[in-house]
Every structure is written in C-alpha cells, then in structure tokens.
Amino acid sequence: MEREFTCIMCPKGCLIKVEYEGTDIKNIKGDECPKGKEYVKNEITNPLRVFTGSVLVGNGDFSLVSVKTPSPIPKKYLKKIGEITRRIKVEAPIAISQVLASNLLGNNIDLIATRKIKKKISLSY
C-alpha cells in the first residue's frame, strides 16, 4: 500500500510518501528531517491523538466544561472515550487541569478540565 502524509512535527510540513504492508514499512520518501520519519512510523504503527470534548456540569455558571486528555492516547480509543464523556456529569466548582475522570477504559486515560467553572450562586429572598 502507498500513502501520503503531511508531517506536522515542524513548520516545514513535508509531504512524505510511504510504501508499507500492515505495519511493515518498505520505503519512506520526502522527509527532510528525522522528525518526519518518526512521525510517519508512529502514524502507521500506533497513531496517537489528544482527545478533546466536553462534559455536563451541575450547579455551575456554565452547563458544560471542556475536557482533554493530558497526553496523546491511541487513536483507536477516541470514539469510546467520546461515548463515555456523554455520560459524565460533574459538579462545580471546577479548576483548570482538574482531573474529572480517571483510568478510563482501564488504560490510565484521564480527562482534565481546560476551563474554570464557578459554582452557581443561588439567590434566595
């Protein structure tokens, strides 16, 4: 199989052509620095991504809080993590970088808040 990748590891954005079968890489062309070759190898053997999404918030000044994984996770888990986040509800207050869920899928995958949410002030007369 042959495929083209645009490397995102440095500002050059090299167009890298790869010939491979399964995870066995036969040939890589177009990489202008060592980062490109490493990027393509990872994309073929174990692609990683940072998950971003949002979860529901109870008693907050916003009803949703944005979340992400603190480090890249295997791409194959993104959809499953997305399904999990739709079922999570957390209570305000929430701090930036606060862990809102941990060890998701039993794989040490955490979700952290990327926004501060204040507790809603209830006015009673």
Facing residues of 89 across strands?
Answer: 56
Q: Are residues 35 and 73 in the same domain?
A: no
Instruction: Tell me whether residue 102 is in a domain.
Output: yes
Is residue 36 a part of any domain in this protein? yes
Specify the pTM.
0.81
| R_g of the chain, CA atoms, integer Å | 20
Q: If residue 5 lies in a helix (H) or strand (E), which one and from where to where?
A: strand 2-6
What dihedral do alpha carbons 47, 87, 67, 11 form, nearest 10°?
30
Q: Are residues 40 and 59 in the same domain?
A: no
Q: What is the CATH number of the domain that holds 68?
A: 3.10.530.10
Read off the pLDDT of residues 45-62 as tens digits, 9 standing for 90 and up.
Answer: 999 999 999 999 999 999
Number of structural domains the chain divides into? 2
Range of the domain at 17: 2-46
Neighbour count for residue 69 (Cβ, 10 Å): 20
Q: Are 15 and 39 in contact (CB under 8 A)?
A: no
Q: At 121, is the pLDDT very low, low, confident or very high (cuts 50, 70, 90)?
A: confident
Encode pLDDT of 70-83 as tens digits. Answer: 999 999 999 999 99
Q: Are residues 56 and 28 in the same domain?
A: no
The answer to whether residue 32 scores a pLDDT higher than 80 is: yes
